[in-house]
Every structure is written in structure tokens, then in C-alpha cells.
Chains A and B, each alone.
Chain A
Amino acid sequence: MIRTEEMLLNVGPQHPSTHGVFRLVLKIDGEIIVEAKPVIGYLHRGTEKLAEDLQYTQIIPYTDRMDYVSAMTNNYVIVHAVETMMGLQVPERAEYLRILAMELNRVASHLLWWGTFILDFGATSPLLYAFRDREMILNLLNELSGARLTFNYMRVGGVKWDAPEGWIEKVADFVPYLRGQLKGYHQLVSGNEIFLNRTKNIGTYSKEDAINYSLSGPNLRSTGVKWDLRKDEPYSIYDRFDFDVVTREEGDALARYHVRMGEIVESLKIIEQAVQQFPKDGEIIAKVPKIIKAPKGEAFVRIEGSRGEIGCYISSDGKKEPYRLKFRRPSFYNLQILPKLLEGESISNLIAILGAVDIVLGEVDG
């Protein structure tokens, strides 16, 4: 008999496939993972604690830096929470601008995921195509908000800027363009044998597991649970749009791939309808006091972000700063299933499994 020994292997914190500063301590027996222990916190900035000393408007730039790939949804959740507490009515035009910005950002976020997920398998060219098209979205959002990633665009009661001249037309032109590109993406990757071998039946979990681990977003919908807050608990003006919730039954990495690709199509549908319904004129911000004070009490709101449910809890004692602020950060919750998924897997599947969960470390660490 050959005597084998368990080995301790550190993946990260500086590892290209972890998409940030994320460390995994693996106990391996040959090539099989016996135990995986994620170590997080390298990017912890204490957003929630810092917010206790900040006015509500000042917290918005901090939320940009949580999920920096999809900052618009983070911007929205904090202003939505404050608006709920104050009972503010947001002007129509502002709502449409918010929807457009959020959905464009969701597409950009999924495109980035698509490129990097396949890059993890060693395919370089899809990343370049994904970034080429994501760049166009970033340019649109740059024109709108003045920044490419950290938008700081939403304000309590509305948005900071109105759409610049010709912007809506540019967005309208972008939708058919990306639809055409998506066909190419499927041609390039979805049927590739190597890709299918590396994702099919890899990292599978059941519907019950997904719910018990409190997964949300595409990670949950890939197991067949039809749960999307945009449909099930419509916030903003999502009830005005006709779109489907994309689900798959398999619960493996490939299912998560197809859910995200399907979501891009659905987001494009929403963008198209929002452009058609976009009001010709109107206010972009409601009448709000110069210093915003949330009334005494507490509120919890949740929205569907690119990675899952983003929640925001505010406890206020009537001052201009929150007494306590808490974010439910979807990446953090989605990551918790990782040790279970990795147990007994081959080490070569590690990257596919982690990639398919789609985490952003800024959001995991808060």
C-alpha cells in the first residue's frame, strides 16, 4: 500500500481565479478536496460602522464600493430604504432613469461575469469580446453619471443628473446591437465541448440546499426556484414591464451560466420597454429638505441585485445619520455554500465552482 498524506493548500488571497482578495484553505488528499475553509475579510472597510457617522447622502458613495461591478443597484437600495422611511414619492422620470441605469448595470455585470468565468477555464478571447460590449455600457453610464464604476448617481428622492441629450436614443440603439452580439457569444462558448465538460454536472446542489443556505439571484434560480423580487415583490416601477424570470432545473454550473445569459436578454427587454415609455419631461428629483433626516423608527427593504437579494436595514433615531445600518450583501450569503460544494470534488473543478457562484469581494467583506 502507498501511504498518502493529507496536504494543506492555500489558494489566494492573491489568486487570479478568486476575482479579488479571497483565500481558501484546502485540505487535499491527492487531487480530491477533503475540506475547504474560506477566509474572508481582506477587503473589509466597515461600511456599516462608517455609515453611523455619515449623513444619508454621504453613504451613497460608500455603497458604490460594495458591489463595485454593479454599483447602481447598491445605490438604489440605500436611497430606497430612506425613501421608504420618509414616505417620499419619486418623480416618474427619475424612476425610469433609475430602471435604465440599474438594468444596464445588470447587463454589464453579467457580461463581466461571462468573460471572467470562461477566462478561468483558460479561454482568453471571450473576455475580450465581453469587455468590448461592456465598455459600451460603461460609456453610456459614464455619460449619465460621470463615472465608469463608482457612479454615485442616485439621490434620496430621485437622481443627480437628467439624461444628457441623445442618451436615450443611444440606449435604444444599444439593445438590438447586444442582442446580435449575444448570438455570437452562444456560438463562441455555449456549444464548446471543453466548456460543457467543465461545467455540466459540476457544483450541483438541490433546491432545498439553495433555500437552506439562503442563496438568492441566479444561484437560486438555477435550481428551479422561480423567485425574483422584480416580479414577486415589485419595487420602483418594475410592475409596468413585461419580462420573464429565467430558471433552470439542473442546479449545476452550466445552469447558472444559462440563467445569467437569459437574464441579459430579459434585462434588454426591460430596457427596451423603459426607453419606449420614457416620459418626455418632468422632474428628476422630488422636493426633499437640504439635510435629510429619516423619521424615528426602522425599515428593511430588499431588491433584486445582479447577484441576488440586496437588503438594507436602517434604524433611525430621527437624526441626520442612521443609528444603525445593515446591508444584506448577496455575495456573502451565496459564498456560504462553497465549502459544501467543494467537499469531495477534484481540485481542477474548484475554479469552475467558485466562478459559477459569482462573488464580488467588495460585497462579501462589506
Chain B
Amino acid sequence: MLGWTKGLAYTLKQLTREKLTYDYPNEPIPLPDRFRGIQKFYPEKCIVCNQCANICPTDCINLTGKKHPDPTKKGKIIDTYDINFELCILCDLCTEVCPTEAIIMTNNFELAEYSRDDLFKNLEWLDENDENIRKVNKA
């Protein structure tokens, strides 16, 4: 048999195979729990240790803390927390170093915006990003 007819036979055999594509964006894509998407931030858990900002390879995290409003308690609480998603490469190192799991990856990955300014996400936005949060954060 000619080589190309063999190839054609293979192609014809594939016709009856099950469809493999997803109807995205009409249906969400199934993603594993470990998938690294946009971070969720818990302001109440944060102890302002600055480890996430220090480990970030692209320096996209900026945070400031303030004194605890209750004078009987020691330590700081978070004041502002911004992630610049123009720079963030979703490498997962910030969630890896966080001692209190205040920052956790989610399965949300749709970051397209009309303006570059909108890629600058602040504490409130990251706090409200609370869908599809990763269940197991550390191995």
C-alpha cells in the first residue's frame, strides 16, 4: 500500500473517536486543586512578616502594616496589600513561604482587563476573590 493511503486510513479511523475539546468559555475548564491561579488574601490571618514580598522573584507584592488597634496585643496588622498582575508570574512562592496561610492560590486564571491599571489588585479585591480556593496548600 502507498504510504499516504496508510495515513489516510489512520485519519479516517479517528473520525469515530470521542470528542476531546471543552466548550470553554461557556463551560469552565476542569482544573486540579493544585492549579496556580490568582491569589486569595485573608487580611485577618496576615501577620505582616513580609516574607511573601521578599521571596517574590518579580517584586510584584507591596504591603504595609500598622500597629494593632488593641493596645493590649502585640504585633502588627495589615494596612495595604497590593499585587501587580502585570508582573506576577504565579510561581506560587508567596503561598509557600506564608507561615499563616494568609495568601493562597485559587483556580481562577482569567485576568484579562481593558486597562493596565486594572491589573493592579488591592487588598479588598484579593480578599473578595474567594471562589475555587485551593484546598490543600502545603505538601
Contacts and interface: CB of A to CB of B under 8 A. Distances in A.
Nearest to B57: A58
Contacts of B11: 125, 188
Contact of A146 (B9, B14, B35, B56): B35
A188 B5 CA distance: 9
A57 B34 contact: no
Interface residues of B, number: 27
A196 B3 contact: yes
Interface stretch (A100-108, A157-165, A323-331): A157-165
Interface string B1-42: 011101101110010000010000000000111111000000
Interface string A153-176: 000000011101000000000000
B87 interface: no
Q: Kindly list the 3 A-B residue pairs having the minimum CB-CB distance in the complex, ordered from nearest.
A: A191-B3, A146-B34, A61-B91
Interface of B: 2-4, 6-7, 9-11, 14, 20, 31-36, 55-57, 89-93, 96, 105, 139
**Residue picked from B2, B57, B105, most chain A C-beta under 10 Å:** B57
Contacts of A116: none
12 contacts: A61-B57, A61-B93, A142-B32, A143-B34, A146-B34, A146-B35, A146-B105, A150-B89, A160-B139, A162-B139, A188-B11, A284-B139
A14 to B, nearest CB: 22
Given A135-B20, A191-B3, A58 B93 contact: yes
Contacts of B33: 164
B4 A193 contact: yes
Chain B, interface SS category? loop
A160 to B, nearest CB: 6
Contacts of B36: 146-147
Given A54-B57, A58-B55, A187-B9, A192 B3 contact: yes
A152 interface: yes
A333 interface: no
A350 interface: no
B10 to A, nearest CB: 5
A202 to B, nearest CB: 17
B32 A143 contact: yes
A194 B4 contact: yes
Contacts of A146: 32, 34-36, 92, 105
Contacts of B31: 142
